[in-house]
Chain A
Amino acid sequence: MSSTDTEVTRRDFLYLATGAASVVAVGGVAWPLIAQMAPNAREVAAGAPVEIDVSAIEPGMMVTVVWRGKPYFIRHLTEAEVAAATDAEQGLFRDYQSADVRLAAAGEGTTKNWAVMGANCTHLGCVPSRVEADGENALDGWICPCHGSKFDVTGRVTKGPAAENLPLPPFNFASAEALVIGEA
């Protein structure tokens, strides 16, 4: 359309209306073809909280549990590990959070010595291996076998390529023996 000598005709309107209707129609056809890719209802339903009996997990021990198809670490820390994590300098972490945020207590009045975290490295999703801290690497808790990211016992990243800490799932202690993952 030239802007000078023509006015908007009924045909122009029909073109635009037909075009707009076609876009809606194509979108309507494409929608289900794309939406079917999403996690299905059963997958979503499997996201219900799970309860784990942690009574047998002594300080220094850990278990890996599955929630929503993904693994999670539950690690009962020793006193030395809690102290090391609490006293660590902020500058050693790539994505600093305080140990207070990262740790949980099994009940009122007990020490915060439970670390619960997602077990997929925040870089590309491998499951980090547990390593014991030694003199040189006092903060080592996990090391990722894929690309060498390191995390402390509470899951805070100390070495890349991972840029973020291992995620904290929603969880709570229903009792001193029962940990529920999936519900804060």
Chain B
Amino acid sequence: MSGHSTYKPGSGIGKWMDDRLPLARLMHDSFVSYPVPRNLNSFYTFGGILMVMLISQIITGIVIAMHYTPDAALAFNSVQDLRRDVAYGNTLQTWHAVGASMFFVAVYIHIFRGLYYGSYKAPREVLWILGVVIYLLMMATAFMGYVLPWGQMSYWGAQVITSFFSAIPVVGETVREFLLGGYAVGNATLTRFFSLHYLLPFMILGVVILHVWTLHVTGQTNPTGVEVKSRQDVIPFTPYATIKDAVALVVFFAVMCYFVFFLPNYLGHADNYIPADPLVTPAHIVPEWYFLPFYAVLRAVDFNIGIPFTEIVLIDSKLGGVLAMFGAIAILFFVPWLDTSDVRSTNYRPLYKIFFWLFVANAVFLGYLGSRPAEGIWIPLTKASTLWYFAHFLIVMPALGLFEKPLPRPASIMDSVLEKAQGAGTSTMAAAPAEPNTKG
């Protein structure tokens, strides 16, 4: 899509600058004249929303860091002081904490949208992979931010998550000691997490720039999955996409404000209002909601994996759980190659559509299971749900592309728009092949 520039500098200063640093031209080409498919629906507004959320988190974060003391003895009270004594401190702190949750709401919708419309398929593999990298960085940032208020959940969350690294054979304990800066979670851990929590958002910003760059090289997907073929198929980013994104953002912020002002603690845990105590683990510890599905995967492996009929253990339950959990995220990197169908949009894949929604339901269910105690019926359900999660990527995705018969797709984006406008009957659909469409 990086076609030739339509930017025309107005004033003399504009021309002078354009010959030296064409920043205005870059902005114009990227966010004004940039052509987007004319049939984008509301699910395509979440990229813009995420960009705004990142900036919002950085701004509120910088402000509340001015009132925060990264010291195990003082951190808890400094956050409470911020909430009680600083002008608007309560709102700013809540905006930042709720903002983290809303950031994940938006990113999950964005990821599922990408999965539904096949946004990871050629030529957008790098775009997708950069997105997964951003998602990983977001998780690391959110985790370390959650430790900073130094409440019970902060402390024990840090204890559990850093213990993942002690599962590494041989060097695990040493790696963990280097992460913690001690033999247990303590002051050294808090200060380094504060440092990294401040750094990572800027790294996210860097990867976001690459993410947008690749997007602007390959162009956006759209609900039909048919590539842009002519000028008829596109409209300029400004005003069309800009206004649409703005409307979506207002709705999104309205929901967020409801939480910030009326349910500020709904997404948190009461236990985090108890100062960190290294001697007592809260009776029921759960991570933040956005980590729950992966927490369930971690707990699903409570058995050793060994050579059958012998006592030899190859992977003990601890390492197995950690591998499964990281695998559940890492598998996203391979999605562009696991999906063998070359039909992008799930709208034209009747069988895959069923499996897609099953996958969504299962992912939500995994999250629910992650919030349940590890006992009784929840244990076998967690195992079944985890198995389905991996089967979707490793079995359903590769297999369906080989024998599924896709529905006929429109010849172009414009065709699909016109057809919708005129209603059914005047279809100008291209004859679709009746056999499975498989990549090369």
Contact = CB atoms under 8 A, between A and B. Distances in A.
- A and B associate in one complex: yes
Interface of A: 34, 37-40, 43, 47, 64, 66, 68-71, 94, 119-120, 122-129, 144-148, 160-164
Given A39-B188, A43-B181, A64 B279 contact: yes
A47 to B, nearest CB: 7
B279 A126 contact: no
Given A70-B184, A126-B160, A163 B374 contact: no
Interface in B281-323: 281-285, 298-299, 301-304, 313, 316-318, 321
Q: Ordered nearest first, which 6 A-B pairs have the shortest CB separation?
A: A148-B374, A163-B316, A161-B302, A69-B184, A160-B302, A124-B163
B177 A39 contact: yes
Given A39-B182, A68-B184, A126 B285 contact: yes
B192 interface: yes
Contact of B163 (A38, A125, A127, A163): A125
Contact of B178 (A38, A119, A163): A38
9 contacts: A43-B183, A47-B183, A70-B278, A94-B304, A124-B318, A125-B163, A126-B285, A161-B317, A161-B318
Contacts of B280: 127
Contacts, number: 105
A148 B296 CA distance: 13
Interface string B342-381: 0000000000000000000000000000000111000100
B163 A71 contact: no
Contact of B303 (A38, A47, A70, A160): A160
B159 A125 contact: yes
Given A69-B182, A160-B303, A161-B299, A43 B159 contact: no
Contacts of B180: 39
Given A66-B279, A68-B183, A161-B299, 18 more contacts: A37-B179, A39-B181, A39-B188, A43-B183, A69-B278, A124-B318, A126-B159, A126-B281, A127-B281, A128-B281, A129-B283, A145-B281, A148-B302, A148-B375, A160-B317, A161-B301, A161-B302, A161-B318
A47 B182 CA distance: 11
Contacts of A34: 178
Q: Main SS of the interface on chain A?
A: loop
A127 B279 contact: yes
Contacts of A124: 159-160, 163-164, 318
A49 B327 CA distance: 41
B186 interface: yes
A163 B281 contact: no
A66 to B, nearest CB: 7
Nearest to B158: A125
Nearest to B162: A125
Contact of A40 (B166, B188, B304): B188
A92 to B, nearest CB: 15
Nearest to A36: B181
A184 to B, nearest CB: 18
A147 B178 CA distance: 25
State which size class the interface on B falls in: 35 or more
Nearest to B176: A125
Contact of B181 (A38, A47, A161): A38
A145 B283 CA distance: 5
Contacts of B194: none
B156 interface: yes
Given A38-B178, A123-B318, A147-B299, A71 B160 contact: no
Contacts of A71: 278-279
Contact of A146 (B160, B181, B379): B160
A36 B188 CA distance: 11
B24 to A, nearest CB: 39
B301 A145 contact: no
Contacts of A38: 177-178, 181
Contacts of B181: 37-40, 43
Contacts of B379: 148
Contacts of B373: 148
Contacts of A147: 298-299, 302, 374
Nearest to A119: B279
B393 to A, nearest CB: 23
Interface in B165-202: 166, 177-184, 186, 188, 192
Interface centre among A38, A144, A160 (most CB of B within 10 A): A160
Contact of A43 (B164, B179, B182, B279): B182
Nearest to B303: A160
Contacts of A144: 281
A147 B321 CA distance: 11
A34 B283 CA distance: 36
Interface centre among A34, A37, A128 (most CB of B within 10 A): A37
A163 B304 contact: yes
Nearest to A43: B182
Interface centre among B164, B301, B317 (most CB of A within 10 A): B317
